[in-house]
Structure 1
Amino acid sequence: MASYLTMDTKQTELTITFIKGVFTVKKGMTVLVSSIISTMLIITACSGGSGSAPKPSNDAGTNGNEGAAAAGGDINYWYPWGGDSEKWDKWRMEEFEKKNPTYKINATYVPPDGGLSNGKLVSVISGKNPPDVVISSDYASAYSLAAQGALEPMDEYLSAMGFNESDVLPSFLPLMKRDDKTYLYPQDSNVNLLYYNVAMFREAGLDPDNPPRTIEELDAAAEKLTVLNGKNVERLGFIPWIDAGDDAFLWGWVFGANFIDDKTGDVKLNDDHLSDMYNWMNKYAQKYNPEKIKSFTSGFGGAFSPDHPFFTGKVAMTVNGNWFANALSIYAPDQEYRVAAIPFPANGREKATTFGTNVFMIPKGAKNPENAMKFILFGGQPEILADNINTWRSISIYNAPSDAIKWDKENDAVYKVVREVAASPNSGHPALTPVAKEMSNELKLLRDNVIYNNKDPKPLLEEVEKKLQKEVDKKK
């Protein structure tokens, strides 16, 4: 399942690791190739649908839709993962068909993200022969499709199946909806946390029961945890831009940036929150010399590697996903660590994360949208996702704990923080815009310009905002 991934931020590819297998996709395949979509969707922007969202039934086969179960029919389904993860999804399909014997799922493997980034999905929508349902880890591209009229609203079907929005964690609702209609249905998600080494905290005179809450406390702890041998770095307390910190949007979101205007959709990068964030990163770069940090990090392994710096003691704190706890159990089983919400600055977002979310969608013109909705509700139930969640500590989108999830029953300390951060109103899905891919690329280039060339981020952000706004205007 694409939600459960590991990231080597120095590679040109992302290695995505699942409970039952591994596959790779090219780095950067996280948002839409919007130029293709803008061209092709002109043809298809006219057919309709309707839109709202259901709490999964304890009976995984019904979801309160007995009439549809009697009717049955085909469901043409596109999924993006291969290897053993494909075996998991095929198991899910088989379970659905066992519970609903009048239905037949016709599944097609469409890497890397269900056909979003390579134009395959747009092509079949334009040709009026789309699948009934698609799942993708590329939520930003999926949202762009909704914005451009390429997806069917789900509300009519959700209402008929007893969906209640109050059952869903509030932080997922903005992703699900556009113009008060529901176009995306999240399957599950990951959150990012601060991981810290307990022994190193004690050695540095820090209290592991009171991890840093604010950016100021994080910086102070990082300085105490850093070990220098003359001019050489033996250990860094913290490096803001490794692991999940390499994401273009995470730290900006924590610092309070919105990236776009929620009402108009205009690009919003010339923002003091972002300037402050890049200047904060640059303090680390200039304090320890960016080239020395680059040399120090050059030998680091990825999250599912024994050479990851948190495992080897080269870094005392890092920001990473909930699945990193599983990597620790494999590669550093004796290391005592704890997790906390990501520290935040004044005027920033407390207890916040950006989500890594898998989403279902029904393409415009789907022949069996009601059947698709039934499979969507079945496939996202905690009971169906339990095998993966119980390994990776990912979350379902529902408020209520599930007996199928062992972490809730065991009162797992890591999962408690995962749930708290996921439920926070400050957590969300930034950059829901057709230019999300371009924005991600531009912000990473800008960050490196600040860190390695000691540039003032303010004029750079102003320039990028103007550049991307022109692209947004072309798509209106």
Structure 2
Amino acid sequence: MSKKMFGVLSVLLVASMLLTACGAKPADENVLRVWIQWGDNPQQIQELFDKYTAETGIKVEVTAPIDDDKVLPALTGSNPPDILVLSGGDAAKSFYKEGLVLELSESITTGNIDMTDMYEPPLSQCRQGDKIVCLPWGTDAYALFWNKDLFEAAGLDPEKPPSTMEELVEYAEKLTVVGPDGSLEQVGFIPNHSWSHTDLYVRNFGGFWYSDDGSALTANSQAMIDALTWQQQFYTKYGVDNLQAFASGFGEYSSPDAPFYAGKVAMMVEGEWQVGPNFIPKLKPELNYGVAAFPPPADHPERAGTIVNQGTAVVIPTGVADKEASAKLLAWMMSPAIVAEEFCYNANLPTSKKAAEAQCFKDLGEKFQVFVDLMASPNAYAVITTPISFEMNDALGAAEEAILLTGADPKETLDAVQAEFEPKFKEAMGQ
């Protein structure tokens, strides 16, 4: 998932240049350095890249996870890593705009990377016009999880999740339990649990906060207004204070007491990793649950199977000493066998179609296969990124909070975002 690494890029560029002026540790010319922004198990990632060393004789040194505040100083300095793996595609276009990362057409040719093997949605996050400024290396998607036991207790068919967004609202009401004192004991659905899912909802309403080609800002489109209005109803129905008091008792995300695991939340939007070995099978193996694509609005059944991909993006810094060596390592990383090995281990989705056929993904079970199948959906999208993505993400996050938690009018709030950011967008895009 994309991290909000920096505030305003230009300010941090100045700061990072000051930092790098103090000097950097010289690189070993015989070692390729890979920096990765994520990685709960750095040893496993290093062992993966040791295979490149075994194949080529070239040593690879992996550093993971890299702190966000170290990335810009490295890119603006004289000693950047040979490969940088970002948590999301948001940063890549900003870095490219500032001349900090390479356009990858030459590297793709040098490494004979098969672009037809990549799923288009995650690849599209790396397109800047006719330029390729990064390559996707694993991705995430979100779907609807539901607790079958709670469905049965509420008189709902445990094998049939809601088929429309309207039906989901009806199910949520039946699955919500209010105590004698009016406090919430169980909630059917919280739209922004455990974080924002506006990107998924707005796609189901037929839009995004950018136009599909990324050439226009559409923060106040009808689809955006509909997506935030749809979410707002849950807070209006339950009561903001009541819902926040209920949520204050939630257990930790990665614990058996997480609200969905503990039966406090009956339905949730979550990612494919939940069905992998480090989450539900490990933390709550007895949980009786199902997974399905998030449902579309009733009047748009053609939007069934909508998902939004967002995930890891690989870039080559402009200042690397040996661009050809970086390109060869990038090609190795993009090979189906390596994609399969890394993302089977993490129970994340592959960006390679051939990798998706690997037995190890099938071994993750039918629930994981729901996500793999959705990768090929005609309604699979990527998060659209632009050079102002960081600022827009922050602004939309604040707008969502105001709408859900203070009852702000969705149209007025989004109109204000559009008015503030449209000039910035046009300037960043050279329009």
Alignment partner, residue 279 of structure 1: 229
Kindly indicate whether the alpha-carbon contact (under 8 Å) linking 1:170 and 1:425 is maintained by their aligned counterparts in 2. Answer: no
Alignment partner, residue 189 of structure 2: 238
Partner residue of 1:132 out of 63, 82, 87: 82
Aligned pairs (5 A) from 1:29-428: 29-30=4-5, 33-36=8-11, 74-81=31-38, 85-101=41-57, 103-107=58-62, 111-113=66-68, 115-116=70-71, 119-124=72-77, 129-230=79-180, 231-244=182-195, 246-247=196-197, 249-263=199-213, 265-326=215-276, 327-345=279-297, 346=299, 349-386=303-340, 388-401=342-355, 404-408=358-362, 410=363, 412-428=365-381
* Cα deviation digits, residues 265-300 of structure 1 (max 9, x gap): 332111111111111112111111111011011111
Q: Secondary structure at the residue paired with 1:312?
A: coil
Alignment partner, residue 448 of structure 1: 401
TM-superposed deviation, 1:429: 2.8
TM-superposed deviation, 1:441: 1.9
* CA separation of 1:145 and 1:459: change in aligned 2, threshold 3 A: same
Distance (whole Å) between structure 2 residues aligned to residue 120 and residue 248 of structure 1? 32
Unaligned runs of 5+ in 2: 18-28
Distance (whole Å) between structure 1 residues aligned to residue 191 and residue 319 of structure 2? 44
* CA separation of 1:286 and 1:416: change in aligned 2, threshold 3 A: same
Kindly indicate whether the alpha-carbon contact (under 8 Å) linking 1:249 and 1:440 is maintained by their aligned counterparts in 2. Answer: no
* CA separation of 1:383 and 1:185: change in aligned 2, threshold 3 A: same
* CA separation of 1:461 and 1:291: change in aligned 2, threshold 3 A: same
TM-score normalised by structure 2 residue count: 0.86
TM-superposed deviation, 1:461: 0.5
Kindly indicate whether the alpha-carbon contact (under 8 Å) linking 1:236 and 1:315 is maintained by their aligned counterparts in 2. Answer: yes
Q: Secondary structure at the residue paired with 1:282?
A: helix
TM-superposed deviation, 1:302: 3.1
Distance (whole Å) between structure 2 residues aligned to residue 291 and residue 424 of structure 1? 39
TM-superposed deviation, 1:361: 0.6
TM-score normalised by structure 1 residue count: 0.78
Distance (whole Å) between structure 2 residues aligned to residue 208 and residue 375 of structure 1? 47
Distance (whole Å) between structure 2 residues aligned to residue 264 and residue 339 of structure 1? 31
Deviates more, 1:156-165 or 1:447-456: 156-165
Deviates more, 1:256-265 or 1:130-139: 256-265
* Cα deviation digits, residues 37-58 of structure 1 (max 9, x gap): 676999xxxxxxxxxxxxxxxx
TM-superposed deviation, 1:457: 0.8
TM-superposed deviation, 1:33: 4.1
Distance (whole Å) between structure 2 residues aligned to residue 264 and residue 80 of structure 1? 25
- Opposite residue 238 of structure 1, the aligned amino acid is F
* Cα deviation digits, residues 43-100 of structure 1 (max 9, x gap): xxxxxxxxxxxxxxxxxxxxxxxxxxxxx96534333346x62212221221111011
* Cα deviation digits, residues 6-60 of structure 1 (max 9, x gap): xxxxxxxxxxxxxxxxxxxxx9535674233676999xxxxxxxxxxxxxxxxxx
Q: Secondary structure at the residue paired with 2:138?
A: strand
* CA separation of 1:81 and 1:28: change in aligned 2, threshold 3 A: closer
CA RMSD, 1 decimal: 2.9
* CA separation of 1:193 and 1:264: change in aligned 2, threshold 3 A: closer
Kindly indicate whether the alpha-carbon contact (under 8 Å) linking 1:171 and 1:425 is maintained by their aligned counterparts in 2. Answer: no
Distance (whole Å) between structure 2 residues aligned to residue 76 and residue 406 of structure 1? 28
Distance (whole Å) between structure 2 residues aligned to residue 317 and residue 423 of structure 1? 24
Kindly indicate whether the alpha-carbon contact (under 8 Å) linking 1:188 and 1:395 is maintained by their aligned counterparts in 2. Answer: yes
Q: Secondary structure at the residue paired with 2:112?
A: coil
Unaligned runs of 5+ in 1: 4-26, 43-71
Q: Secondary structure at the residue paired with 1:235?
A: strand
Q: Secondary structure at the residue paired with 1:143?
A: helix
Distance (whole Å) between structure 2 residues aligned to residue 320 and residue 255 of structure 1? 19
Distance (whole Å) between structure 2 residues aligned to residue 173 and residue 224 of structure 1? 40
Kindly report structure 1 stretches of 4+ aligned residues shifted beyond 6 Å. 37-42
TM-superposed deviation, 1:264: 6.2
TM-superposed deviation, 1:351: 1.8
- Opposite residue 233 of structure 1, the aligned amino acid is L
* CA separation of 1:281 and 1:467: change in aligned 2, threshold 3 A: same
Distance (whole Å) between structure 1 residues aligned to residue 309 and residue 131 of structure 2? 21
